[in-house]
Copies of this chain bind each other. A is one copy, B any other.
């Protein structure tokens, strides 16, 4: 069954937040060889109500067929297209420490369309090292690199103290998005999307729950 074209309605924040989760679960189902799934089963798997699920998916078109459930592959295609996974985003990483290496080396990200074309550091002992097929470049050459190469996404895995300085260079060069691993609030402007992932926040949350739970 064809899904209707995507309606360009404003998708609520809460639904956006659940999109990656939908994508993750649907991928799991495909790996397990599931072809169809009812909204009841899928919602149980994801720990949400089935009316919630149907409502969320209604933002993206019509997938379900009464009594037949969702065709998993169709659902995956639709969600991929909503997220924009058919695109390739050129990206650079600033900070070639362990986290930078983890991002650069994770095959799942390149499969999703993140193409790392440069990695930078300020540490003379790291500059020049090979990271996969890339040489770690001197961060001093970052503005020049951005000037010569089309880069949509800048990934910041530096210490907090220099993250804003790097963000400013990225924004000046016109990157469209920043994926920020540094534990600081970056100041940007309306032309750039900043997506923070604060790994330490998740650890603090675990600690808090352990502390409450003892």
Contact = CB atoms under 8 A, between A and B. Distances in A.
Interface of A: 2-3, 6-7, 9, 11, 16-17, 19-21, 23-25, 28, 45-47, 82-85, 87, 89, 97-99, 101-103, 105-106, 108-109, 112-114, 152-153, 160, 176-177, 179, 183-185, 193, 195-214
A103 to B, nearest CB: 8
Contact of A207 (B7, B11, B83, B185): B83
Q: Lowest 4 A-B CB distances belong to which pairs?
A: A84-B211, A98-B102, A20-B201, A20-B204
Q: Which of A101, A113, A200, A214 has the most CB of B within 10 A?
A: A200
A208 B153 contact: no
24 contacts: A2-B47, A6-B209, A6-B212, A9-B212, A19-B208, A20-B200, A23-B204, A28-B160, A83-B211, A85-B207, A97-B105, A98-B101, A99-B102, A99-B106, A103-B199, A108-B183, A112-B203, A153-B210, A176-B214, A193-B209, A193-B210, A195-B202, A197-B197, A197-B199
Given A102-B102, A112-B207, A193 B213 contact: yes
Given A106-B98, A208-B84, A212-B9, A203 B179 contact: yes
Given A24-B184, A83-B207, 20 more contacts: A2-B47, A3-B47, A6-B209, A6-B213, A7-B212, A16-B209, A24-B198, A28-B160, A28-B184, A98-B102, A98-B105, A98-B106, A99-B102, A99-B106, A101-B101, A153-B206, A176-B214, A195-B203, A196-B202, A197-B202
